[in-house]
Each structure stands twice: as C-alpha cells, then as structure tokens.
Amino acid sequence: MKYVLLVLFSFFTLTAHANPEWVKAEVVRIDASRQRIVLKHEYIPSIKMAPMTMRFDVAKEISLEKYRPGEKVRFQIKEAGGDLTVIAMEPLK
C-alpha cells in the first residue's frame, strides 16, 4: 500500500513540475547584464508563495531587452535547490 501511495504521489509531483503554471506580474526592474529581473507577482500556487516583489534569475534563452519596467507579463518558474528561475515569459495583451 505504501508503494502505491508513493508512486501516485511521485506521478502528481512530476506532473505539476512538468507543466508549471503561468503567473501574472509587473516588471519592476531589469538587469540584463546579470540576466535578472524584479517582478511584482501574484500568488504562485505550485510553491505556495504569497504575492510580492522579488528578484528572479532568468534563463539565458530569454531576451530581457524587449521588456520595460511597468510592463505587465506572465511567466513560468523552475525551482531547483531553493533557487527560482524564470524559464518562460511573455507580455500580457
């Protein structure tokens, strides 16, 4: 029984991380030279993080040059070793 529960829990955990949710935010500051961004974001359900303004590292595949402070965006994050990295971001329409 324990094995079945462990397998089910592992499946749901992998599914949640395989498709990270989109979170709405406002760009506060951009540091393109360090590939970092400060976002004022909504609640992030997958990690139970309250709405706040915080700095994120950004995956090198994402160009920060096209974003400006005050712009509304949506983004996805990846958590690894306690660090949060933006892995996808796009302007809100």
Q: How confident is the model over 42-69, as pLDDT tens digits?
A: 999 999 999 999 999 999 999 999 999 9
CATH 3.75.10.20 fits 21-91, yes or no: no
**Residue 82: is its pLDDT beyond 90?**
no
Mean per-residue pLDDT, 14-21:
62
| pTM listed for this prediction | 0.78
Residue 7: pLDDT band by 50, 70, 90 thresholds? very low
Distance CA 24, CA 74 (A): 4
Residues in the chain: 93
Residue pair 76/86 in contact by the 8 Å Cβ criterion: yes
Cα–Cα distance list, 62 to 56, 85, 87 (Å)? 13, 11, 8
Q: Which residue did the predictor score with more confidence, 63 or 19? A: 63
What residues are paired with 52 via a beta bridge? 41
